[in-house]
Each structure stands twice: as structure tokens, then as C-alpha cells.
């Protein structure tokens, strides 16, 4: 830092900041620091574990559906299940989730059906009219544009004096976008009830984190917007839930926005249209498998006599069955009539489109 113009001039320090990191379970399942209160009830932890296992079973199936031509491009969340599940488990139904495309674990937790998620990725908009809370936003495909939406939602809550929170999930790449800065700036100025959660999987397609930002942490980006952030071990679902619970509770009680950087790792390809082996050494991926979120929670639950081999086998079978049944329902859903593409564009369809719609309606369908 010696090349900075003020170095050695003994100017008074007018601001100092710090960023903390939250982690409870080490990768081997040992407890690194005393657990938050909710973790005293192992049934809660088992429910988080079950949700992560279901998310992975769904995810693996979705990839094979795409590979066999029965689903569109799909973004797997392999290794990142703890973020989506931990965050969703800290929300109330009336809160609003603004997810990215890699957050199916959160959607499932909030009641979206697996066949609805498959419809969405199969290119059928009916998947967006889901069984989850109607006020939740659909998965955001444009990088970062859900952040200004989240600030807007939170602004509405503030204006209406509703004790609700907007919860926004996005990737490390999104933190380089103006959308995020603008949303955080606005949220800071207006002290809005919004929680920003960066799922830092350390890659934005083929761009590694070190080329994404020179910031030591993503959490510190909140400081410039006038609020706090913390980093959490994103492979530790207890840490993610604890951080999210704290932030959501604070936001709900009028304490303003918060930023959580959940550090995890994208164990799979960016999407089914990507081949990460072309830009990532296999040793790097292999090393990160040792930190994935399942093993540590399972080891901890086993050490607490709250989980065992028979439950594990039973759960695998149950997930398999549920996923297969959802896939059957998805595949049995017939295509929409082509003219429905005009349904939700305008309150009153302009004449030119009316003609096109009528033409389609007259077309015999295959
Ligand atoms: C506005 C916009 N620009 C570019 C893209 C293409 N794109 C899709 S995903 C992606 C990288 C996003 O990385 P990150 O935010 O880290 O999320 P991750 O995919 O790792 O979950 C890009 C550039 C896009 N979807 N939207
Ligand atoms: Mg990323």
C-alpha cells in the first residue's frame, strides 16, 4: 500500500471496518464453535439434511433429463445445496424470495413442486405459476436484475409498514454488476427490510473469483452502501441458516438491510451447456468435494445419534420415488397451445397481434 498518496502523512483515520466469518461445523462434522439455538433440536437439523438430499436427487435427475433431450438447458446446484436450503428455512411464508437460477433447494422448501420446476426448465411458463407463495419471484436468469427488484419489494413493505422481508439470492458474478450496487445503495439509504445473499461458488461460468473482484471479501461490499455484511461457510447449513435468521429477524424489526456472503463451490458445470473441465483442473474440484455440505452434517447427526444407516437408505429411496413421480407428472403434461404465447403480453392485445393469434388458432395442431 506504500504507493498510496496518503501513506506516511499521518492523516487521521476517519473510518474502520471489519468483516466477520460464521462457521460451526468443520468438514469432518466436528463442532468448531457453540451451535446456535435452533440446532439444539436435532429434528430441525434432520429436516435441513432431508431437504438438501432431496434437492440433490432432483438436481441429478434434471441433468439426466436434459442429457436425454427431455429438458432444456439446466443449471445444477451440486455442492451448493446448503445455501438455498439454509436461507429458505430462515424465512416466513409471507416474506418474498427473489431467487437466481441455481436456488431450487429454496423453491422446494417454499412449496414449489418438482414438476413445476421441470416445466420451467422445459420452457413452459406454467412452471412459474407454482404452488409456492404467489408473491415469490420466478428464478432470475439475467445476472443480478433481481437485486433492484428486491429493493423495490422491500421499499413497498416499508411504505405499507408490513413486517415482511425481501430475500435476494445471486452469485459472486452478480456482485460486479451495477444492479447490485444500485440496489444496495438504495436499500442502505432507505434502511429497507432486504437481505442480500451472495452465493459465492467461486466461479461465474469460466471466470474465477480472483478475476471477478479485487475485494478481499464480497461481504465488505455492503459497507460502502452503509450497512453490514458477514461471510459464512456456505457448506455449513447451520451457519447459513443462523446468519439468514439473524439478518431476516433484524430486517423485519426495522433494523435495515444486511449482506451475507455464503462461500461454497460449484462442483458441477455452470449449466448443461458448459464443460467446466475445459477451464478448471480436476484436482481443484476434487479438493472441494472434501468440503461439500452433506458429509459434515451427516457426521454430526450420527455423532448425536439422530441419524444412521437405515434412515439414510430410507431417505434415498423416498427421494428417488418422489423425484420419479414428479418426472412422470412433468412428462405427462401436454404442450400448451401455440396461441397462448399471446395470453399475458397486453391487457388488450393490439390488432397486429390479434391477427397473428387468430391465425394460430386456426392452425390445426399436431
Ligand atoms: C445480464 C446478464 N449477462 C450475462 C448473462 C450470461 N450469464 C449467465 S450466468 C453468468 C455468470 C453468473 O455467475 P454468478 O453470478 O457467479 O452465478 P453462478 O452462475 O455462479 O451461480 C453469465 C455471465 C446473463 N444471464 N445475464
Ligand atoms: Mg458464481
- The pLDDT score that the predictor gives to residue 1 is 46
What band does 125 get if pLDDT is binned at 50, 70 and 90?
A: confident
- The pLDDT score that the predictor gives to residue 129 is 92
Average pLDDT, the chain: 96
Instruction: For ligand 1, say whether the CB of 143 is within 6 Å of any of its atoms.
Output: yes
Q: Say if residue 366's pLDDT is above 60.
A: no
The best mutation among 204, 270, 288 to test binding of ligand 1, ranked by most ligand atoms within 8 Å of the C-beta, falls on 204
SS3 40: helix
In b/e form, how buried is each residue of 69-83, taking b as 16+ CB within 10 angstroms? eebbebbbbbbbbbb
Same domain, 175 and 274: yes
Residues known to be catalytic: 266, 270, 279
- The pLDDT score that the predictor gives to residue 5 is 67
Instruction: For ligand 1, say whether the CB of 175 is within 6 Å of any of its atoms.
Output: no
Same domain, 258 and 357: no
Same domain, 217 and 259: yes
Instruction: For ligand 1, say whether the CB of 146 is within 6 Å of any of its atoms.
Output: no
Instruction: For ligand 1, say whether the CB of 141 is within 6 Å of any of its atoms.
Output: yes
Same domain, 96 and 219: yes
Domain count, the chain: 2
- What percentage of residues in the chain have a pLDDT greater than 70? 97
Q: Say if residue 80's pLDDT is above 90.
A: yes
Q: Say if residue 4's pLDDT is above 90.
A: no
Instruction: For ligand 1, say whether the CB of 78 is within 6 Å of any of its atoms.
Output: no
Residue 47, domain member (yes or no): yes
Q: Say if residue 247's pLDDT is above 60.
A: yes
| More reliable by pLDDT, 208 or 352 | 208
Residue 4, domain member (yes or no): no
Instruction: For ligand 1, say whether the CB of 99 is within 6 Å of any of its atoms.
Output: no
Q: Distance, CA 262 to ligand 2 centroid (Å)?
A: 11
CA distances from 78 to 61, 75, 285, 292, 298 (A): 12, 9, 12, 9, 17
- The pLDDT score that the predictor gives to residue 363 is 59
- The pLDDT score that the predictor gives to residue 183 is 98
Which three three-digit cell numbers place residue 77?
446446484
CATH number of the domain bearing residue 34 = 3.40.50.970
- The pLDDT score that the predictor gives to residue 343 is 87
The number of residues in the chain equals 366
Same domain, 355 and 254: no
Q: From atom 17 of ligand 1, which residue's Cα is the shortest distance away?
A: 171
Same domain, 76 and 30: yes
**pLDDT tens digits for range 179-198:** 999 999 999 999 999 999 99
Same domain, 357 and 284: no
Residue 351, domain member (yes or no): yes
Residue 182, domain member (yes or no): yes
Same domain, 342 and 297: no
**Separation CA 53–CA 50 (nearest Å):** 5
- The pLDDT score that the predictor gives to residue 9 is 83
Distance of alpha carbon 139 from its chain centroid, rounded?
Answer: 9
Mean pLDDT for the stretch of residues 3-31:
89
Same domain, 170 and 274: yes
Q: Distance, CA 138 to ligand 1 centroid (Å)?
A: 16
- List CB contacts of 71: < 8 A, sequence separation 6 or more: 62, 65, 118, 121, 122
Closest CA to 277 of 328, 203, 224, 195: 203
Q: Distance, CA 201 to ligand 2 centroid (Å)?
A: 5
**pLDDT tens digits for range 264-275:** 999 999 999 999
Shortest-distance atom of ligand 1 to CA 173: 15
Q: From atom 19 of ligand 1, which residue's Cα is the shortest distance away?
A: 204
Residue 6, domain member (yes or no): no
- The number of helices, as runs of H, and strands, as runs of E, in the chain is 13, 8
Return the ligand number nearest the Cα of 205.
1
Which three three-digit cell numbers place residue 87?
436461507
Give residues whose Cβ lies within 5 Å of ion ligand 2: 171-172, 201, 204
Which three three-digit cell numbers place residue 287?
479438493
Return the ligand number nearest the Cα of 268.
1
Same domain, 225 and 358: no
Q: Distance, CA 97 to ligand 2 centroid (Å)?
A: 19
Shortest-distance atom of ligand 1 to CA 201: 20
Residue 204, domain member (yes or no): yes
**pLDDT tens digits for range 310-345:** 999 999 999 999 999 999 999 999 988 888 889 888
Q: Say if residue 2's pLDDT is above 60.
A: no
Report H helices in the chain: 42-67, 81-88, 104-109, 114-121, 146-160, 178-190, 209-212, 221-224, 237-252, 282-289, 293-303, 309-332, 351-362
Sign (positive or negative) of CA dihedral 214, 218, 222, 228: negative
Q: From atom 12 of ligand 1, which residue's Cα is the shortest distance away?
A: 204
Instruction: For ligand 1, say whether the CB of 102 is within 6 Å of any of its atoms.
Output: yes
Residue 9, domain member (yes or no): no
Instruction: Give residue 346's domain range.
Output: 337-366
Instruction: For ligand 1, say whether the CB of 203 is within 6 Å of any of its atoms.
Output: yes
Shortest-distance atom of ligand 1 to CA 271: 19
Shortest-distance atom of ligand 1 to CA 270: 19
Closest CA to 123 of 68, 171, 70: 70
Instruction: For ligand 1, say whether the CB of 204 is within 6 Å of any of its atoms.
Output: yes
Same domain, 353 and 330: no
Residue 75, domain member (yes or no): yes
Same domain, 72 and 208: yes
- The pLDDT score that the predictor gives to residue 345 is 83
Mean pLDDT for the stretch of residues 32-36:
97
Shortest-distance atom of ligand 1 to CA 177: 1
Amino acid at each position: 500500500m506504500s504507493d498510496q498518496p496518503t501513506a506516511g502523512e499521518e492523516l487521521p483515520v476517519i473510518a474502520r471496518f471489519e468483516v466477520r466469518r460464521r462457521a460451526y461445523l468443520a468438514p469432518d462434522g466436528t463442532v468448531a464453535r457453540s451451535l446456535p439455538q435452533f440446532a439444539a433440536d436435532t429434528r430441525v437439523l434432520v429436516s435441513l439434511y432431508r431437504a438438501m438430499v432431496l434437492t440433490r436427487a432432483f438436481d441429478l435427475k434434471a441433468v439426466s433429463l436434459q442429457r436425454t433431450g427431455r429438458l432444456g438447458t439446466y443449471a445444477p446446484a451440486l455442492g451448493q445445496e446448503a445455501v438455498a436450503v439454509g436461507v429458505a428455512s430462515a424465512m416466513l411464508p409471507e416474506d418474498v424470495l427473489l431467487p437466481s437460477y441455481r436456488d431450487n433447494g429454496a423453491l422446494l422448501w417454499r412449496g414449489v413442486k418438482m414438476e413445476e420446476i421441470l416445466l420451467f426448465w422445459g420452457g413452459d411458463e406454467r412452471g412459474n405459476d407454482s404452488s409456492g407463495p404467489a408473491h415469490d419471484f420466478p428464478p432470475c436468469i439475467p445476472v443480478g436484475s433481481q437485486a433492484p427488484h428486491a429493493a423495490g419489494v422491500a421499499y413497498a413493505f416499508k411504505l405499507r409498514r408490513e413486517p415482511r422481508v425481501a430475500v435476494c439470492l445471486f452469485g459472486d458474478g452478480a456482485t460486479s454488476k451495477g444492479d447490485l450496487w444500485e440496489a444496495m445503495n438504495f436499500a442502505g439509504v432507505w434502511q429497507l427490510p432486504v437481505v442480500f445473499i451472495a452465493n459465492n461458488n467461486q466461479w461465474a461460468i469460466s471466470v474465477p473469483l480472483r478475476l471477478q473482484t479485487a475485494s478481499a471479501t464480497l461481504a465488505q461490499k455492503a459497507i460502502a452502501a452503509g450497512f453490514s455484511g458477514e461471510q459464512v461457510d456456505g457448506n455449513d447449513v447451520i451457519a447459513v441458516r443462523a446468519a439468514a435468521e439473524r439478518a431476516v429477524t433484524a430486517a423485519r424489526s426495522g433494523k435495515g438491510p444486511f449482506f451475507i456472503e455464503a462461500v461454497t463451490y460449484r462442483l458441477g458445470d455452470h449449466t448443461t451447456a458448459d464443460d467446466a473441465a475445459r477451464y478448471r483442473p480436476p484436482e481443484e474440484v476434487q479438493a472441494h468435494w472434501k468440503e461439500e455440505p452433506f458429509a459434515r452434517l451427516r457426521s454430526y447427526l450420527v455423532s448425536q445419534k439422530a441419524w444412521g444407516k437405515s434412515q439414510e437408505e430410507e431417505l434415498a429411496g423416498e427421494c428417488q420415488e418422489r423425484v420419479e413421480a414428479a418426472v412422470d407428472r412433468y412428462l405427462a403434461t401436454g404442450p400448451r397451445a401455440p396461441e397462448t404465447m399471446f395470453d399475458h403480453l397486453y391487457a388488450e392485445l393490439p390488432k397486429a397481434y390479434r391477427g397473428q393469434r387468430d391465425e394460430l388458432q386456426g392452425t390445426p395442431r399436431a
